[in-house]
Structure 1
Amino acid sequence: MSQKTLVNKNLRFTLSPGQEEIGRRAYNLIIGATLLYGFAVNAVMVSLFQDFFAGINYLALVIGYIVCVLIGAFLTRSDSGLISFIGYNFIVVPLGAMLSVILPYYGTELVFNAVVITGTITLVMMAAGTIFPKIFLGMGRMLFFTLIAVIVVELGAMLIFHRDFAVMDYIVVLLFSGYIGYDWAKANAYRRTVNNAIDSATDLYMDIINIFIRILSILNRNS
């Protein structure tokens, strides 16, 4: 579910023609508001459209999700805040459709517990990224290659052994917890523009959703 290899983040350290920096408070508020918007859209879709998306062929839903995420990842490369926000929606909305199909199988209690645990991890790692930015900024290459290794292992397990390994859920949680600290540290290193705030929120959104899904899987296994 990651778009990290598709986004040219180097552009975020410079100002494009016509862009202006905003205050730190406004910058952080835009990041927070964008994240809350994404989660709110997901919650509404899960609450209101479960039956609708449950009636769609699952393979078609997955293919549509992948296509939309790739489009969203491409659009977030733009230096326009509006286009980046449109790209963000191309990621958030299809993910809401997927969650509408997946979450009913887990039950309200497990979903709530996963939300609480994910929220706690997010706050802790954002605080760590604020306190130790240099440490997290130095973890980028390690996190990237670990992500590639996880993708290869999980694809191999699915295609060759036709199963998943429980330990991978814990590894992914640790990996994307690190990514939260890394992406938050990078967000604070970027030029404070509306576009960078939306792009940073997109990165954090993907980190948080990956953690949430894996936490849900771990809780389900344990129950």
Structure 2
Amino acid sequence: MEEKIFERKQANAVVISSRLYNLTIGAVLCWGFWVNWMMVSTIPVEPLQSISPLIFFIGYFASCLLGIYLFTRSDNALISFIGYNFVVIPFGLIINIAVSRYNPDLVVEAIKITGLVTGIMMVLGTLFPKFFAKISGALTISLLIVIGVELFQIFVLGIHQAWLDWAVVMIFCGYIGYDWGRANQIPKTLDNAVDSAAALYMDIINLFLRILRILGRK
């Protein structure tokens, strides 16, 4: 059985320099963000909104799960990158629908705040990797609880309380620090760089969507 990404202790490919490793993570992240930007810029939101929600979310989760399976199970950087794109594309559709509801200036502000927060959490993840490792279990439990409460409020009570968005922001801030800290503790190979970028991408996009919702509410 393959090792989980951040539990890998031995390199299954050529080890690269720390600089190239971090540059690869950055480049893969930028690719995902660029693809999302192109999707938002070129895909009209109306056809997406006309799709049955059930069909849309089945396709969304199927693509994400396939992508996650590919980049977590593969030791080949190219296959992992393909898996990464299977995650980026459905996230891009969600982003497209989300940003269409807000003023472009608000979206830009959310991007700036997300970038600033991400940078801070990466620095903290570098300085205090053991701290973030200790809270990883609490982050997972907290996220599951928040998702459960949110789904209950939406589908049963028909409400959505603002504190849930703040809770998700805090959780994904923790995940960014955690995933960045772990990314720099595993063998520095191209495949691990792609896998680490994929994990960070999902953290950052979830953080952005919640920040955008909080700003939009104000």
TM superposition score normalised by structure 1: 0.91
Q: Runs (4+) of structure 1 moved beyond 4 Å?
A: none
Aligned to 2:146: 150
1:82 CA drift (Å): 1.1
Aligned to 1:130: 126
Aligned to 1:4: none
Equivalent position to 2:101, from 105, 108, 115: 105
1:56 CA drift (Å): 4.3
1:142 CA drift (Å): 1.4
Any gaps of 5 or more consecutive residues in structure 1? 1-6
> Match for 2:190: what amino acid?
V
| Number of equivalences | 214
User: Secondary structure of the residue that 1:220 maps to in structure 2?
Assistant: helix
1:219 CA drift (Å): 0.6
Alignment pair present for 1:95 and 2:91: yes
> Match for 2:191: what amino acid?
N
Alignment pair present for 1:57 and 2:51: yes
Aligned to 2:160: 164
> Match for 2:28: what amino acid?
T
Q: Which runs of structure 2 are paired with 1:40-55 in the superposition (5 Å)?
A: 40-51=34-45, 53-54=47-48
1:189 CA drift (Å): 0.5
1:163 CA drift (Å): 1.9
> Match for 1:33: what amino acid?
A
1:162 CA drift (Å): 1.9
**Is this contact kept in 2: 1:53–1:100, CA < 8 A?**
no
Equivalent position to 1:29, from 23, 35, 38: 23
1:100 CA drift (Å): 1.8
Aligned to 1:175: 171
2:110 and 2:189 map into 1 onto residues whose CA distance is 32
> Match for 2:86: what amino acid?
F
Aligned-residue identity in percent: 44
Q: 1:53 to 1:94 in 2, by over 3 A?
A: farther
Aligned to 1:3: none
User: Secondary structure of the residue that 1:173 maps to in structure 2?
Assistant: helix
Q: Root-mean-square deviation (CA), in Å?
A: 1.6
Equivalent position to 2:71, from 50, 54, 76: 76
Alignment pair present for 1:13 and 2:40: no
User: Secondary structure of the residue that 2:167 maps to in structure 1?
Assistant: helix
1:62 CA drift (Å): 2.4
User: Secondary structure of the residue that 1:13 maps to in structure 2?
Assistant: coil
1:10 CA drift (Å): 5.1
More off after superposition, 158-167 vs 23-32:
158-167
1:40 and 1:8 map into 2 onto residues whose CA distance is 27
User: Secondary structure of the residue that 1:76 maps to in structure 2?
Assistant: helix
1:56 and 1:20 map into 2 onto residues whose CA distance is 47
> Match for 2:42: what amino acid?
L
Aligned to 1:39: 33
1:158 CA drift (Å): 2.0
